[in-house]
């Protein structure tokens, strides 16, 4: 039988403000699942969807209920729930999870208009990425795992300048103004979602350089919720202890300002969490194997898999620091979660027959 109920689509939510590294993260994630995800063939060239053998990534901007003109007329930003159709989002994500294909709208980022819908078939793994994957409680409840990319204001500013000034020719003032204009809605509707995330990657300015304001060297925290089914947090040296580690020396080359790791238990929005932190950057990516060998519960399939993945995508932004390292590790944890989830679901019908 091939009824909808037999399907095993695992749904992952990835939340972040735009320009905060979601697409880079998605490229690392789909690579861990074996094979880069690409836009659907023969469809709308402005589709936001990415598809690989195992994974489909949909962009939640496609659930904008107001197009660019509509938002302007009503004076609401894309971050405002009133500009988004959560009923449709819920209906379609739920259908896909149950193995039913959907006709998903397309928000065209070039024209700012809603294009005719595209057919999305239920994949093994569905990633919903965007501004609001954990905003609506109905959508939140059907996520099997959720991630929030928390980029501090200082770093967000540095990245936006890099992209919008260098690549898009915007002025410093206009970038500042656009960040300021988005901030109230960001604080009201996007940021609060991090309390629901199973894993948060927080990106902060370094503490290794006094008064650093360049935003090049980063301090990155991987905050992992305890007690999540099929997800056991990564640890450094000894699970549950509090550790501070400077790996620089004979086995790891570090130039100024060096590298520092911290690990330990903490509390995050009232939840028990484990936090792994890396401040600084790698000089030589191949030496990452030394760090990898001291981490446990990283869900690799062979020794050195994290280092191999990082070397494979050395050209992606963040490959020399904690953003790339933790995104890669979260990718491996999601692969592990997927395998455990599908194995546990596969058992259910057998037990049902026995009863
Ligand atoms: P999004 O998909 O959320 O809009 P992208 O992955 O396209 O974000 O990244 C947007 C820009 O932010 C990139 O072009 C790059 O300049 C910068 N960026 C993203 N991730 C990192 C990182 N880990 N380190 C440094 N810069 C980054
Ligand atoms: C956010 C949304 C986009 C939107 C952009 C600009 O980043 O993710 O969908 O296009 O804001 O919004 P605007 O109203 O200026 O087109």
* 352 within domain boundaries: no
Q: Is 14 left (phi over 0), alpha (psi -120 to 50) or beta?
A: beta
Per-residue model confidence (pLDDT) at position 344: 86
Cα 253 to ligand 2 centroid, rounded to whole Å = 42
Complex ipTM value: 0.91
Q: Which of 104, 94, 131, 119 is nearest to 4 (CA)?
A: 94
By the 8 A CB rule, do 294 and 278 touch?
no
* 18 within domain boundaries: yes
pLDDT digits (tens, 9 = 90+) for 87-105: 999 999 999 999 999 999 9
The domain boundary residue, chosen from 86, 120, 148? 148
Per-residue model confidence (pLDDT) at position 354: 47
**CATH number assigned to the domain comprising residue 118:** 3.40.50.300
Residue partners of 260: CB distance under 8 A and separation at least 6: 208, 244, 245, 246, 278, 279, 280
Q: Is the dihedral of CA 325, 326, 331, 337 positive or negative?
A: positive
**264/138 same-domain check:** no
* 185 within domain boundaries: no
Cα 77 to ligand 2 centroid, rounded to whole Å = 7
Q: Give the tokens for residue 51.
A: 């598809």
* 127 within domain boundaries: yes
When comparing pLDDT for 293 and 213, which is higher? 293
* 7 within domain boundaries: yes
Q: Which domain holds residue 135?
A: 1-148
By the 8 A CB rule, do 245 and 236 touch?
yes
Share of the chain above pLDDT 90, in %: 74
**141/205 same-domain check:** no
**255/128 same-domain check:** no
Which ligand 1 atom is nearest residue 327's CA? 23
Q: Which of 26-35, 294-303, 325-334 has the lowest mean pLDDT?
A: 26-35
The ligand minimizing its distance to the Cα of 71 is 2
Residue partners of 179: CB distance under 8 A and separation at least 6: 153, 156, 157, 160
Which ligand 1 atom is nearest residue 149's CA? 3
The domain boundary residue, chosen from 148, 174, 190? 148
**144/202 same-domain check:** no
**96/206 same-domain check:** no
Q: Is 202 in the pocket of ligand 2 (CB under 6 A)?
A: no
* 235 within domain boundaries: yes
* 163 within domain boundaries: no
Structural domain count, the chain: 2
**204/328 same-domain check:** yes
Q: Which of 225, 309, 268 is nearest to 25 (CA)?
A: 309
Q: Which of 138, 64, 147, 65 is nearest to 97 (CA)?
A: 138
């Amino acid at each position: 039988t091939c009824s909808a109920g037999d399907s095993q689509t695992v749904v992952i939510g990835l939340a972040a403000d735009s320009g905060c590294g979601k697409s880079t993260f998605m490229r690392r994630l789909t690579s861990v699942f074996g094979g880069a995800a690409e836009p659907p063939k023969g469809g709308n060239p402005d589709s936001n969807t990415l598809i690989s053998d195992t994974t489909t990534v949909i962009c939640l901007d496609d659930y904008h209920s107001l197009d660019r003109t509509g938002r302007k007329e009503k004076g609401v930003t894309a971050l405002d729930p009133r500009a988004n159709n959560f009923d449709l989002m819920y209906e379609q994500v739920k259908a896909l999870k149950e193995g039913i294909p959907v006709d998903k709208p397309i928000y065209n980022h070039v024209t700012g208009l809603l294009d005719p819908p595209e057919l999305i078939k239920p994949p093994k793994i569905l990633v919903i990425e965007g501004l609001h994957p954990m905003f609506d409680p109905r959508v939140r409840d059907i996520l099997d795992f959720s991630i929030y990319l928390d980029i501090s204001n200082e770093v967000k500013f540095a990245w936006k300048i890099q992209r919008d000034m260098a690549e898009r020719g915007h002025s410093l003032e206009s970038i500042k103004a656009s960040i300021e204009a988005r901030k109230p809605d960001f604080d009201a509707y996007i940021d609060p979602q991090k309390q629901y995330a199973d894993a948060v990657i927080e990106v902060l300015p370094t503490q290794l350089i006094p008064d650093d304001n360049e935003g090049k060297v980063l301090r990155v925290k991987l905050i992992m919720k305890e007690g999540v089914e099929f997800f056991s947090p990564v640890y450094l040296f000894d699970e549950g202890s509090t550790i501070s580690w400077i790996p620089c020396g004979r086995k790891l080359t570090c130039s100024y300002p060096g590298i520092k790791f911290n690990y330990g238990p903490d509390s995050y929005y009232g939840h028990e969490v484990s936090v792994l932190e890396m401040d600084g950057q790698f000089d030589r990516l191949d030496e990452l194997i030394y760090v990898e060998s001291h981490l446990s519960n990283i869900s690799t399939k062979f020794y050195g898999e994290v280092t191999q993945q990082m070397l494979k995508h050395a050209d992606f932004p963040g490959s020399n620091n904690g953003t790339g390292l933790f995104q890669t590790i979260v990718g491996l944890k999601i692969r592990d979660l997927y395998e455990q989830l599908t194995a546990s679901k596969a058992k259910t019908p057998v037990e049902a027959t026995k009863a």
